[in-house]
Amino acid sequence: MAVHIRLARAGTKKRPFYRVVVADQRCPRGGRFLEKIGTFDPAKKFEDKPLHIDAERLAYWKSVGATPSATLAQIVKRVAKLEAAAPK
């Protein structure tokens, strides 16, 4: 079973909201998933932290071979870059 970490669309029409889920590659985008590990709200600005992920579960799933989707990888990289540049 090929496992991917990806975004599953939720929300209403013209107001998308995404769940970060671990799912079998063959399941549809909004279909069955193994575990929900976070959320992403594209309506929020990146400075307001629109991405919430359980880092421990993300690390676990990556360690057992799950691969993040290209879109999710870009979002995670962008948020990490902003957090590193933010003054403390």
Give the closest residue to 35 by CA, choosing from 20, 22, 48, 47.
22
pLDDT in tens, 42-83: 888 777 778 899 989 999 999 999 999 999 999 888 887 777
For residues 63 and 59, give the distance between their C-alpha atoms in angstroms, rounded to a whole number. 6
Domains of the chain: 3-85 (3.30.1320.10)
Token couple for 32: 């069955």
The reported pTM is: 0.84
